[in-house]
Every structure is written in C-alpha cells, then in structure tokens.
Structure 1
Amino acid sequence: MRLVFAGTPAPAVPALQRLLDAPRHEVVAVVTRPAKPAGRGRKQTASPVADLAAEHGIPVLTPAKPGDDDFLAELREFAPDCCPVVAYGALLPQRTLDIPTHGWVNLHFSLLPAWRGAAPVQHAILHGDDITGASTFRIEAGLDTGPVFGVTTETIRPTDTAGDLLERLARSGAELLVATMDGLASGELVAVPQAPDGVSIAPKLTVDDARVPWQQPARHIDRLVRACTPAPGAWTMLGDDRYKLGPVRPRLEGTLAPGEIRLTRAGVEVGTLDRDVTLTTVQPPGKRMLPAADWARGARLPEGARFV
C-alpha cells in the first residue's frame, strides 16, 4: 500500500522505520509537527520523525493545522491508501480523515478502551496496572473511540518508568502496526468496535501533577514518580528551592514524618504517610541530576529539614 505516515516524537520512530523496511508497503510522505525551539540556545529543531524521513529522502509535510486547504491538496496528490499514525500530536478534522482509502490508523499505547487520551502509559503506571499494551484502531471523530484492528500486550514491571515502558511499547507496537497494514492490504483484517465498558481517560500529566505528595502512602508516591519520569519530571520543594527527583524505592517501615529527610552514608531517606522511601537521584536547582548518595555527601541540611 501507499502510506503517508504521521508522527512526531521519538516513540514514533520505530514504527516509521519498520514501515520503511516492510516490503509490501511504500511510505511516500511523512506528516509531522512543525520544528520548534529546543535546547539552551532555543534553536529551531525538527522532530525525530522528520529527521528519519529526511535520512531516507522522503517528503516531509509540516502543516500548522492538518485541516488547512494547502495541506489537504498535498495529501491528495500523494494518493495514500492509508495513513498510519503514531503520536502525531494534533486533532484530524473529518475532511482530512476522509482522504485515504483505508482511513487513518492510529497506534495507541494502551489496551483500548482503557486509557484513551494523551498519556496512556503514564496513567497505567500511576494507577498500578499490571498489564498494558498497544492497539491499532481507525481514527474517527471521538477521542480514541474508533474500532480496533489489533492489540499487543506488555507486562508493567515493578520498577518501570514511563520512559522504560514506552520504549518497549514503541518496539512491539511497531510490529503490530506493520501487521495491521499487511492485513488491510490483503483485505483479511476487520476492525472490531470497542467494548462500551472499561473506558478510562488518560489526560496529559502536568508539572503541577508531578509534585510529590509526601502526605500520601509510599506506594502512591513510587507510582507517581515513575509515571512522571522522564516527563514532566517529579519534583518537590526544600525551602524556596525546587528539586527534581528520580524514582524512589519504598522501604519496609516508616520512622520519618511525611517529607522529613534523613541523610545516611548510603543515601537519602524521606518519610511518607506510611513507609519511608529511599531516593535514587536528586537534581538540585541549577545543577545536573545526581545519585542521591552524592547529593547527600555535599548537602548541608538543618535538623528536621523537610521536602514539601
């Protein structure tokens, strides 16, 4: 099939690469979000998907809005049979959805109808799910409500961060997306409507969501920090300073008040509602992320210092 691939961030790259390698399909163009400022110099930087497309000499379309008339005219000229999508990052109006013969097929990183929305991987970890996965479905007007072509499952490990889990799902999901394109090309694959029950919504986690609530149980804090790693990044306050934190390890007992800090030779322990947690990494303001033990050796904290 002739494919126009739509995607933007790094987790979309494995899927694009697998489609480029697939003998039954031809990626004739790529749609991605426009370049944006990045890094300390705020230099205009193309998306990871755009970079991969450029390496292969594939035309890259970067519409400000995917419903613009000029973009729709370009898309029609490429005459796609299908438009596979992975984390494109913009809503597609109906007149855009109507152009390819087989529609737009999204690879979504959850087992639909669970965790529809922008942050399915983060919410699966935050809510303590044991199993998640990826689904391919035909995009329609609703939020991730379209009929499903196929799924693949993935176990959530006890120490998984959102970054860890998304990396695995990006690889297994790429295989699922190619299999879906193969099934559509052969005419053997039929989409199945999503079940009406089991629906959950996964909105994007904000910086405010990522503040560590030390008054909560250690298990919740562990999940929250892992769900927010690497983005938006868990954080807490110490006095007037903001500190970013990496994953924590709940301990067997609790001897500290919520937020109370204890520096030891081995590292840093902090109290929660029930059990204490051990920090793994700490990023003081204006500095790089450090192993917690290294930060502890240089920290000069008053007695009874607390994160809040």
Structure 2
Amino acid sequence: MRIVFAGTPETAVPSLEALIASRHEVVAVVTRPDARAGRGRTLSASPVAEVAERHGIEVLKPATPSDPDFLDRLREIAPDCCPIVAYGALIRRAALDIPELGWVNLHFSVLPAWRGAAPVQRSIMAGDEVTGASVFSLTEGLDEGPVLGVITELVKPEDTAGTLLERLSVEGARLLVDALDHIEDGDIGVQQQDEELVSLAPKLTTEDARIAWNRPAFAIDRHVRGCTPAPGAWTELGDLRVKIEPLTIADESTLEPGQVSFGKKEVRVGTATTDVVLGTVRPHGKKPMDAADWGRGLSDPAGSFS
C-alpha cells in the first residue's frame, strides 16, 4: 500500500520508522515547516523531516494542509492511505478526501477519553491508572472518528508525561502498522465512539501548569509529573518564579499548604494532606538544580509558595 505519512515531533518518529520497515511504501512525508529552536534560534527541520530525508523520502512542508499547491501535489502522489501522528495542524475535507482509504490517526489515549492536544498530560494529572493509544479514522471533528484499534498501558507511579509518551509512541507505532495491514487486507474492525464517555484534553497553558498547594499531595504529585517536561509545573516564592520537577510525597504533615521549609538536605512544602519533598527545581532563567542547593543560595530562604 502506498502511503503518505504526516507527523512532526519526536513522538511521531517511531511510527514513521515502523512504517518504513513495514510492507507498506512510504512515498512522501508531510510535516510542519521548519521552525526556530534552541538558544541560537536557528531554523531547524522537524524530527520527522530529518528521518524522512535520511531515507530519501520526499518531504512536504505546507504552511497549512489546505494550501492549494500541497493539495495538488498530494493528488499527484495519489496515496492509498495517509497515517498521521502528532502532525500539529487540522486536516480539512479537501485533503481528507484525497486518499482512497482515508487518513488514519494514532492518538495517545483510549478514545473517547482525552480527545485533544494533551491526552497524556491530562491523563496523568487526572490520576488515571490506565491509559493507552488508539488508531482511528480521521474526520473533521476533534478525534471523533471510528476506532480501528486500541492498546492499553499502565501509568507507573514514577511516570512523567515525557516517559509515558515515549512508551506509548513505541507501542502505538506497532498498533498503527497493524491497523494499516488490516486496512489493506480488508478485514479491519470498526468501533464507533460513545459520545457519552468523552473527556477533553486541551493543550496545557502556562497558567494550567501553576501548582495549587492547597490540593492534596497526591494531586500535586500528579500535576507536576503531568506537566513534565512541558510546559513545566511552576510556583512563586515572593517575586521568584521556579519550576518544580517530580517530587516525593512525605509520610507526615508538618507545614501549612504552600509553606516552605528549607533544610540542609531537603526542601519541604506543605499541602492539604502530607508534605512533599522537592527534588530538582529550575529557577527562572537558570539551569535545573537540586532543591536544597537552590535553597542555600537564596538570600532569604523562608516564606510560602503561591
């Protein structure tokens, strides 16, 4: 089967590599235009584009997938199917209608749970014990097409959004290839989504990542891990903003919510239940550092987070 793959970030790379190694022919790749990244703000190709170029695959970088020149080129290529993983732009009807077998999306949740841009982050933050990945037929609605395959994955106590997404991207790649195999063979099963079970996972904003210390320690732990590595959970000590990386829940409660205790070997913060012990922190504009080292460097190590 001739396919055109659409994807952009590192998360999509395992799927592209699995498709290249599969029985299907990846005839082109669609990805977002080059973007500025790093401290030097140099213009860089997406991770998916870099992999495609290494394999000598044609790379298409339309400003929008509704661009007439892009649509014309996609018609010329005439793919049988277009698998898509974390592409980063909406595919409209004009593009959806081009491949005979449609567009097939790999989404990192068990649909209809967590439709949207941040399913893994929202799942961790909500305290889910199990999540997964789904392959579904892409429509113009938000992640609402019929489901073609599902895998499940336990959310480990130490998982961050980054580590969980890394596992799901690898396992999901296998699921995507399997779905395409069955589509080509004509024996794929289809399950309509139950609209009564929908939950939404909008993209996390900086304000969403702010820690509310009046919540239970378990919820704060999940919040921090769900925001790691991006956008990064944060709080303020006076006028100092600091990002908080995964922390440890203590056995006892000795502090009021948000109250900070700076010790020689650890930094504790009060919550609505037990204290939490900070691990690595990242003061604004600085590199990550051990919380105790950060505390020793403060001119007035006291007060409460807000």
Between the aligned partners of 1:249 and 1:210, the Cα distance in structure 2 is: 18
- CA-CA distance at 1:194 after TM superposition: 1.2
After TM superposition, what 4+ stretches of structure 1 lie above 4 angstroms from structure 2? none
Consecutive unaligned residues in structure 2, runs of 5 or more: none
- Larger mean CA deviation between 255-264 and 199-208 belongs to 255-264
Between the aligned partners of 1:13 and 1:261, the Cα distance in structure 2 is: 41
Between the aligned partners of 2:257 and 2:7, the Cα distance in structure 1 is: 42
- CA-CA distance at 1:15 after TM superposition: 0.4
* Residue identity opposite 1:232 in structure 2: P
- Larger mean CA deviation between 224-233 and 278-287 belongs to 278-287
Residue 236 of structure 2: aligned partner? 237
Residue 21 of structure 2: aligned partner? 21
Local SS of the residue matching 2:243: strand
- CA-CA distance at 1:32 after TM superposition: 0.4
- Is 1:55 matched up with 2:54? yes
- CA-CA distance at 1:117 after TM superposition: 0.6
Between the aligned partners of 2:252 and 2:152, the Cα distance in structure 1 is: 34
Between the aligned partners of 2:146 and 2:106, the Cα distance in structure 1 is: 12
Residue 115 of structure 1: aligned partner? 114
Q: Deviations over 1:128-182 (max 9, x none)?
A: 1110000000001211000011001100011110001000000000000000110
Residue 129 of structure 2: aligned partner? 130
Alignment of 1:156-175 (within 5 A): 156-175=155-174
- CA-CA distance at 1:189 after TM superposition: 0.7
- CA-CA distance at 1:115 after TM superposition: 0.5
* Residue identity opposite 1:5 in structure 2: F
Alignment of 1:67-216 (within 5 A): 67-216=66-215
- CA-CA distance at 1:124 after TM superposition: 0.6
Residue 269 of structure 2: aligned partner? 270
Between the aligned partners of 2:224 and 2:300, the Cα distance in structure 1 is: 23
Q: Deviations over 1:249-289 (max 9, x none)?
A: 11122111122111223321111122110111011222100
Q: TM-score, normalised by structure 1?
A: 0.97
Between the aligned partners of 2:9 and 2:40, the Cα distance in structure 1 is: 20
Residue 304 of structure 2: aligned partner? 306
Percent identity between the two aligned chains: 58
Local SS of the residue matching 1:137: strand
Local SS of the residue matching 1:60: strand
Between the aligned partners of 1:220 and 1:252, the Cα distance in structure 2 is: 15
- Larger mean CA deviation between 258-267 and 207-216 belongs to 258-267
- CA-CA distance at 1:190 after TM superposition: 2.9
Between the aligned partners of 2:189 and 2:211, the Cα distance in structure 1 is: 44
Between the aligned partners of 2:81 and 2:44, the Cα distance in structure 1 is: 28
- CA-CA distance at 1:307 after TM superposition: 1.4
Between the aligned partners of 2:110 and 2:285, the Cα distance in structure 1 is: 39
Between the aligned partners of 1:87 and 1:285, the Cα distance in structure 2 is: 29
- CA-CA distance at 1:195 after TM superposition: 2.0
Local SS of the residue matching 2:73: helix
- CA-CA distance at 1:240 after TM superposition: 1.2
- CA-CA distance at 1:20 after TM superposition: 0.5
* Residue identity opposite 1:193 in structure 2: Q
Q: Deviations over 1:53-110 (max 9, x none)?
A: 1111111101111011100011011110100000001011111000001100000000
Between the aligned partners of 2:299 and 2:219, the Cα distance in structure 1 is: 29
Between the aligned partners of 2:74 and 2:290, the Cα distance in structure 1 is: 49
Residue 256 of structure 1: aligned partner? 255
Between the aligned partners of 1:139 and 1:68, the Cα distance in structure 2 is: 19
Local SS of the residue matching 2:196: coil
- CA-CA distance at 1:301 after TM superposition: 2.9
Local SS of the residue matching 1:184: helix
Between the aligned partners of 1:19 and 1:220, the Cα distance in structure 2 is: 38
Q: Deviations over 1:226-265 (max 9, x none)?
A: 1100000011111212111101111122111122111223
- Larger mean CA deviation between 245-254 and 84-93 belongs to 245-254
Aligned residues: 306
Between the aligned partners of 2:83 and 2:210, the Cα distance in structure 1 is: 35
Between the aligned partners of 1:209 and 1:285, the Cα distance in structure 2 is: 17
- CA-CA distance at 1:214 after TM superposition: 1.1
* Residue identity opposite 1:12 in structure 2: A
Q: Deviations over 1:19-47 (max 9, x none)?
A: 0011x201000000111111111111111
Local SS of the residue matching 2:188: coil
* Residue identity opposite 1:71 in structure 2: F
* Residue identity opposite 2:10 in structure 1: A
